[in-house]
Structure 1
Amino acid sequence: MAQQDEVKTFEELGICEQLVNACKSQGWLNPTKIQVEAIPHALEGKDLIGLAQTGSGKTGAFALPILQALIESPQPFFACVLSPTRELAIQIAEQFSSLGSDIGVRCAVLVGGVEMVQQTLILGKQPHIVVGTPGRLVDHLSNTKGFSLRKLKYLVLDEADRLLNEDFEKSIDEILNVIPRERRTYLFSATMTKKVKKLQRACLRNPVKIEAATKYSTVESLKQLYLLVPAKYKEFYLVYILTEKSGCTSMVFTRTCESTRVLALILRNLGLKAIPISGQMSQPKRLGALNMFKAGECNILICTDVASRGLDIPSVDTVINYDIPSNSKDYIHRVGRTARAGRSGVAISLVSQYELEWYIQIENLIGKKLDQYPAPEEEVLLLSKRVSEAKRLSQTKINECNEGGKRRKGQGDEGDEDIERYLGFKNGRKSKKFKKK
């Protein structure tokens, strides 16, 4: 590896001039560590298992070799990339489209929450790259006339540790049964467990294993802190931290979908620009919230783990774990939303008396003791009256909206629409890129 460590440019990795120029237009002046180690093996035609910290350039590590192979042998349905979440799939497709814009690369995104007819029309245009979630891809393979991956050359499992779990097992098996065995297969993730049998199921042939990070690690530019808080005061501490970081862009992770909505309402009642995103929201609303956050219209995103994997939002300064994840590996993915690509960032975990065991598991996993975030309780409790009143108003608004929805529709769905309007969602707002796809 000594020689590879000296590589400074994409040209020296063997990337062709067209793609080198595409990298420059993306602002990629030098390859990252995972790109340096993975791309030469990929260009030699090897299967890969890549372990790298989130935000380290994994997408480029598999997209560039695939696009270079596509330039040499163009054909429809050349590569398929699988992702565990819809948002990550859309982001990967955007990366392929950006890197391949000068060579006419066509991409299709196959995710749930969108009508299949719309996606079928895209598939009819014979895209080169298909990016999707396993369940929706299986739906199209089963039901979309004329669509198959029998000539597929590349299969990528991004966030492979999630895709190799039981949740996706049936769908992954169905996909593997209908694609060629003679193909290149890449598995990439920030965390990887030794699921030998499941890796064999993915039909890797003598894969090169690349570890551009220790097994479970966070980047050095990330400052990680914790704060022990009584559960009943958690909202006060959250508001205290967000007020102290009022000029920052923050992601706040909660355990439940309901919590995202309630916390966003509380924060907005306090004058903070917060917006929620969770798996219970429709796909256009999820993408609308993400776009508002990326555009800076709201600087606080309240989210579940639907937003913890792979999303690249360079402007995120702070990640707050309002609820500690019960699976300690999810912590690594959450805090990886900040301090990306060499930037600095801060992660703060609010630890209640009921979450101490989960927090200790996180420290054991990452192999370090975290420093305490300075938040004097007497200062925090000065906020108690304002926050309690904001919470009361939020609960009143939820009750009013839900009652209004029941009166109009006989159920609560329209109440959700009322709350979303109150939270600042714009009627009919959708991602332009998503609409296009």
Structure 2
Amino acid sequence: MASPSTTSDSAVSFASLGIDAKLCDACTKLNFSTPTDIQREAIPWALKGRDIIGLAKTGSGKTAAFALPILHALWQKPHKLFACIMAPTRELAYQIAEVFNSLGEDMGVRCVTIVGGVDLMTQAIALSRQPHIVIATPGRLEYHLENTKGFSLRRIKYLVLDEADQLLNLDFGPTIVSILDHLNKDRVTFLFSATMTARVAKLQNASLKDPVKIEVATNLIQHYTFFPFKYKDCYLVHFLNEFTGQSAITFVRSCGEVNRLTHLLRHLRIPAVGLFGKMPMEKRSAALEKFKKGKRSVLVATDIASRGLDIPHVDVVLNYDLPKNSKEYIHRVGRTARAGRSGKSISFVTQYDIELYQRIEFALGKKLKEFKVESATVLRLQESVREAQRMAVLHLKEDRDPSRGDVADQKKLMMLNKVARKLSRKSKQTAPA
């Protein structure tokens, strides 16, 4: 496919891509100095009015890649209800809205964010005021299209499906099809996805007309390290010590492991904060802010952190638990090496993870390089890690209030007590005479 731009990379600016001067000034204010790869490739096609399918991960600058052409077109021909952007999560919807509001501030752009968990009447009133841009999660958008009097997207000029693979993984497929029936056929459509799955390909065929396909390479180095399961915590602490001063996300499979490892790392004076789906929104936001601002260098998280969150810079991704879905691996490691930066990922493989790891290599179509570690160096941490494990279990036990728990909670509490006693005995047995 021929590139629409003949400008050399070294001379590329937003102005050279054809973006209006007012928007270029907004980019300067936001420290968007030069276009990222996805912006450089997508913006010229978007300005030509072409449908686009872009394969790019979160952090590659894809929000501005579709926001700038939309705002440019809106500035040229002002129109109410100009564009609709669909996102899979509330967090991503709010982040997209922030970009549109920041870039379009001097243009007087009005954006409305329509997501679940917000009063329906308040949203209906906001929609009745004819905003220029609607950013929404599919379920809530479908509700308003079918139930809010006077709200219609029949005349919109642009539709964006962001994180399309996650939209479909969350079973929004039927909802999206329903929404497409409410739209006009003459719109321009942008579809962005981290991976090109069969379901994304079907959505592309159903919603795009003769699209330009753009795929952006990354500077990501992927490793694995193999060791016995019983030393898993020791290896985690070793790697985080090795990467002191760098930001790292440690992915685990369950909320319980997030809590346990966060307590364990804090006991070892490693600044960690946890993040998982069942946390109240205020605590999730607070945890994310601490990590983004560098107050905590380690984020221990479930797959909620693998996509849809705006985390500007992550140096290292550690897959403490391998994901059961190979596609989720791609999203996890995509948290690093963003916006042209380099980054690395290390996946922990024990004797119980070999099949999962082989699936990941098969999905990637290549072998990962082994990250070799001197086991003797790691095992020197055993005593301090054991004590931290014991303290983490005690913290978890204290966090539970037996008077409020049900039978299942009581059983879990008894199990935690048993584990704490066992770890305490082990610690005494291995202590020097």
Q: Shorter-normalised TM-score: what interval? A: 0.7 to 0.9
Partner of 1:366 in structure 2?
A: 364
Partner of 1:167 in structure 2?
A: 171
Q: Does 1:201 align with 2:203?
A: no
Write the mapping of 1:23-102 to structure 2, written as runs, cut at 5 A.
23-102=27-106
Question: In structure 2, the residue corresponding to 1:206 is in which secondary structure?
Answer: coil
Asked whether the 8 Å contact 2:318–2:347 carries over to 1, the reply is: yes
Partner of 2:158 in structure 1?
A: 154
Tell me whether 116-125 or 56-65 shows the greater mean CA deviation. 116-125
Tell me whether 264-273 or 192-201 shows the greater mean CA deviation. 192-201
Question: In structure 2, the residue corresponding to 1:181 is in which secondary structure?
Answer: coil
CA shift digits 1:32-53 (9 cap, x unpaired)? 3322322222112221112235
Partner of 1:345 in structure 2?
A: 343
1:292 pairs, out of 285, 290, 293, with 290
Summarize the Cα distance change of 1:113–1:285 in structure 2 as closer, same or farther, 3 Å threshold: farther
**Matches of 2:275 and 2:134 in 1, distance apart?**
25
Summarize the Cα distance change of 1:259–1:136 in structure 2 as closer, same or farther, 3 Å threshold: farther
Question: In structure 2, the residue corresponding to 1:275 is in which secondary structure?
Answer: strand
Question: In structure 2, the residue corresponding to 1:248 is in which secondary structure?
Answer: coil
**Matches of 1:78 and 1:94 in 2, distance apart?**
17
**Matches of 1:71 and 1:224 in 2, distance apart?**
43
Asked whether the 8 Å contact 2:4–2:45 carries over to 1, the reply is: no
Summarize the Cα distance change of 1:176–1:236 in structure 2 as closer, same or farther, 3 Å threshold: same
How far residue 120 of structure 1 moved from its aligned partner, in angstroms, is 4.7
Tell me whether 250-259 or 382-391 shows the greater mean CA deviation. 382-391
How far residue 64 of structure 1 moved from its aligned partner, in angstroms, is 0.9
How far residue 94 of structure 1 moved from its aligned partner, in angstroms, is 1.5
Amino acid aligned to 1:71: W
Tell me whether 276-285 or 25-34 shows the greater mean CA deviation. 25-34
**Matches of 1:98 and 1:410 in 2, distance apart?**
50
**Matches of 2:253 and 2:362 in 1, distance apart?**
21
2:307 pairs, out of 309, 314, 317, with 309
Tell me whether 114-123 or 131-140 shows the greater mean CA deviation. 114-123
Tell me whether 141-150 or 33-42 shows the greater mean CA deviation. 141-150
**Matches of 1:199 and 1:328 in 2, distance apart?**
22
Partner of 2:232 in structure 1?
A: 234
Q: Normalized against structure 2, the TM-score is what? A: 0.85
How far residue 31 of structure 1 moved from its aligned partner, in angstroms, is 2.2
1:255 pairs, out of 253, 260, 263, with 253
Amino acid aligned to 2:188: R
Asked whether the 8 Å contact 1:160–1:192 carries over to 2, the reply is: no
Q: Does 1:282 align with 2:286?
A: no
Asked whether the 8 Å contact 2:322–2:347 carries over to 1, the reply is: yes
Identity %: 51
Larger radius of gyration: 2
Asked whether the 8 Å contact 1:239–1:267 carries over to 2, the reply is: yes
Amino acid aligned to 1:321: N
Summarize the Cα distance change of 1:144–1:302 in structure 2 as closer, same or farther, 3 Å threshold: farther
**Matches of 1:115 and 1:377 in 2, distance apart?**
55
Question: In structure 1, the residue corresponding to 2:344 is in which secondary structure?
Answer: strand
Question: In structure 2, the residue corresponding to 1:179 is in which secondary structure?
Answer: coil
Question: In structure 2, the residue corresponding to 1:298 is in which secondary structure?
Answer: coil
Partner of 1:185 in structure 2?
A: 189
Question: In structure 2, the residue corresponding to 1:187 is in which secondary structure?
Answer: strand
How far residue 133 of structure 1 moved from its aligned partner, in angstroms, is 2.0
How far residue 158 of structure 1 moved from its aligned partner, in angstroms, is 1.0
Summarize the Cα distance change of 1:265–1:143 in structure 2 as closer, same or farther, 3 Å threshold: farther
Amino acid aligned to 1:198: L
Amino acid aligned to 1:375: V
Asked whether the 8 Å contact 1:87–1:287 carries over to 2, the reply is: no
CA shift digits 1:110-143 (9 cap, x unpaired)? 3334454554554455432222222232344345
Q: Does 1:385 align with 2:383?
A: yes
Partner of 1:430 in structure 2?
A: none
Amino acid aligned to 2:250: V
**Matches of 1:199 and 1:168 in 2, distance apart?**
14
Partner of 1:428 in structure 2?
A: none
CA shift digits 1:173-216 (9 cap, x unpaired)? 222222323311111112112444332333x2222222344xxx
Partner of 1:6 in structure 2?
A: 7
**Matches of 1:331 and 1:53 in 2, distance apart?**
12
How far residue 144 of structure 1 moved from its aligned partner, in angstroms, is 4.6
Partner of 1:400 in structure 2?
A: 398
How far residue 96 of structure 1 moved from its aligned partner, in angstroms, is 1.4
Summarize the Cα distance change of 1:167–1:116 in structure 2 as closer, same or farther, 3 Å threshold: same
Summarize the Cα distance change of 1:39–1:284 in structure 2 as closer, same or farther, 3 Å threshold: same
How far residue 18 of structure 1 moved from its aligned partner, in angstroms, is 0.9
How far residue 308 of structure 1 moved from its aligned partner, in angstroms, is 1.0
The size of the alignment, in residue pairs, is: 405
Q: Normalized against structure 1, the TM-score is what? A: 0.84
How far residue 62 of structure 1 moved from its aligned partner, in angstroms, is 0.9
Asked whether the 8 Å contact 1:250–1:316 carries over to 2, the reply is: yes
**Matches of 2:281 and 2:118 in 1, distance apart?**
7
Amino acid aligned to 2:173: E
Partner of 2:422 in structure 1?
A: none
**Matches of 1:307 and 1:151 in 2, distance apart?**
35
How far residue 404 of structure 1 moved from its aligned partner, in angstroms, is 5.0
Kindly report the root-mean-square deviation, in angstroms, between the aligned alpha carbons of the 2 structures. 2.6
Summarize the Cα distance change of 1:198–1:272 in structure 2 as closer, same or farther, 3 Å threshold: same
Asked whether the 8 Å contact 1:310–1:333 carries over to 2, the reply is: no
Partner of 2:324 in structure 1?
A: 326
